[in-house]
Amino acid sequence: MRRVRDWVEERTGWVSSCRRILDEKVPGGARWRYVFGSVLMALFTLQFATGILLSLSYAPTAEDAWQSVRWTTESTHFGGLIRSLHVWGVSVILIVLLLHMAQVLLAGAYRRPREVNWFLGIGLLGLTLAFAFTGSLLPWDQRGYWATRVGMAIAGSLPVIGEPVQRLLQGGTALGTLTLNRFAVIHFVLLPGAFLAALMAHLALVWRHGITSPAGRTVEELGSRAQPFWPFQASKDLAVAGLLLVGLLAVAWCWPAELGDPADPSVSHAARPEWYFLFLFQLLKYFPGTWEVVGAAVVPALLLAILIGVPFLDSSPSLQFRHRRGVVGLMGALFLGLAFLTGQARWEDRVMRRVAMERATGIFTRHCASCHLDTGQGKHAGMPDFTRVEWHARHPEAALRRTILNGKRGKIPPMPAFKGILSDYEIEGLLRHIRGFGGKLDPEAPPEESTVTSPEGNQSTPEPLTTEEAPHDGRRGY
């Protein structure tokens, strides 16, 4: 073992380099608040591993993408868990990224001579968001499809460069196989390459400048309390990284990532971006018509400019926090603004949903009661009886949603399709109303669409919803 080490050391010097990095002194001693960088590295490593595994059985065509993702989650060992880890991982990474930035801001670690590392950090944040945006389209489900469609329309609405940019990103005039291929190449090849390069530069600069020392200490004090990275800082890094990873595993295990219905341009879908893009989504509501460009480009560009400008806004040589109040206050205000917009987007959706739910009774009376009756028991033989608990147990929400959207053919009066007539929220309200007839089932909790065999399963009712359909339900992660 030693001889191998010496052989490698003599030819490369890698052993002593590793030792130098591990023995690097942390001025003032190890601290919990220095852990975020290492934690991010651990999270990104997992993201790369799960991403590579997912890409092994993924086909970036409009025909195949959704099927291949479903196949991966259902027909490979731990496939659903791997996908859930990858999907949940994005949210965890963004939260830790915010904490990392906050720590850098509070410590003043963006100041001379570390400005370039602040810029690289912003670049890494941008690349992470680009990963999230391109990745959300890849399963080609309703959510990803519509979120991308809106995103592309926003890009297209920019003056002059809008249309060419949109076409280059889409690979044509509309979302389709070429878009998927582009997004896949960006997500699998270009972004990882750029990310790794930026990360290397980021780490090299951390190594060059070291950690920003805590304020208000003399050089002697910092020196006497300094501790080597290994094991003092490393143990803290490992503790937090391990806890977060295990927590992420638990979350992914308990709440499998949703794979929505396959992308369908004909079905209305209340397109909502992921939580980390909600502020942009909300911003657009404030700028009607030709002012859209302000919300879509000017404000985000301004935000980016402020972020990049932070090292120039605070050029005081002092490490003392009170000299940095202005910049920290500005960033705090910006953060609160973004948090407010995000919260507002959530709140407005909740209100819309409640209103639609309240309308559900009226909708049922107008559209459904002529056949299903106000009691929900059905006018004709062979119609479902909504008051039966067993019927609810056999019919998952997604299947009911499909029947409402697509209607139903049959001998008993056929049911019209409500695609394009009812909004998403109205259908959701209607589902709750229908569940409400069943009395005993908790209307808030849709039943598991397992193969519950009901005692009267052989009844000759022309069921449009066979159990074979059930696995198509988007809620099944794996």
Residues at the site binding other proteins, with contacts judged by CB under 8 A: 46, 49-50, 53, 57, 59, 64, 67-68, 70-71, 75-79, 81-82, 85, 230-232, 234-235, 238-239, 241-242, 245-246, 249
CB of 251 to other proteins, least distance (A): 13
Report the C-alpha gap between 270 and 69 in whole angstroms. Answer: 23
CB of 182 to other proteins, least distance (A): 22
From residue 268, alpha-carbon distances to 134, 142, 250, 415, 434 in Å are 22, 9, 34, 19, 21
CB 227 within 8 A of CB 30: yes
Residue (242 or 416) nearer to other proteins, CB = 242
Q: Which C-beta is closer to other proteins: that of 114 or that of 236?
A: 236
Our CB check for other proteins shows the closer of 39 and 101 to be 39
Cβ proximity of 422 and 363 under 8 Å: yes
- Minimum distance of other proteins from residue 233's CB (angstroms): 10
Beta bridge partners of 141: 262
Nearer to other proteins (CB atom), residue 64 or residue 115? 64
Between 238 and 299, name the residue whose CB sits nearer to other proteins. 238
Tell me the closest approach of the beta carbon of residue 403 to other proteins, in angstroms: 25
Backbone angles phi, psi at 238, to 5 degrees: -65, -40
The alpha carbon of 172 is separated from its chain's Cα centroid by a whole number of angstroms, namely 26
Q: How many residues does the chain have?
A: 478
Burial of residue 39, with CB atoms counted within 10 A of its CB: 0-12 exposed, 13-18 middle, 19 or more buried: buried
Cα dihedral: 228, 232, 233, 237 (round 10): 150
Rounded alpha-carbon distances, angstroms, from residue 192 to 128, 130, 171, 184, 235: 10, 11, 21, 11, 28
Least CB distance to other proteins at residue 258 (A): 19
Question: Toward other proteins, which CB reaches closer, 82 or 93?
Answer: 82
Question: CB-wise, 32 or 347, nearer to other proteins?
Answer: 32
110/212 Cα distance (integer angstroms): 9
C-alpha to C-alpha distance for 307 and 314, rounded to whole angstroms = 12
| Complex with other proteins: residue 81 or 398, whichever CB lies closer | 81
Tell me how far, at minimum, the Cβ of 68 lies from other proteins, in Å. 5
Beta bridge partners of 227: 26
| Residue 262, SS3 per DSSP | strand
Question: Closest separation between CB of residue 228 and other proteins, Å?
Answer: 9
- Which residue, 93 or 338, is less far from other proteins as judged by CB? 93
For residue 168, the Cα-to-chain-centroid distance in whole angstroms is 24
In degrees and rounded to multiples of 5, residue 333 shows phi and psi of -65, -45
The nearest distance, CB 45 to other proteins, in angstroms, is: 10
Give me the least distance between CB of 243 and other proteins, in Å please. Answer: 8
- Please give the Cα distance from 326 to 321 (Å, whole number): 10
Please state the closest distance from residue 470 (CB atom) to other proteins, in A: 18
Q: Which is nearer to other proteins, 41 or 313 (CB)?
A: 41
Residue 357 near residue 432 (C-beta atoms within 8 A): yes
b (16+ CB within 10 A) / e for 75-89: ebeebbbbbbbbbbb
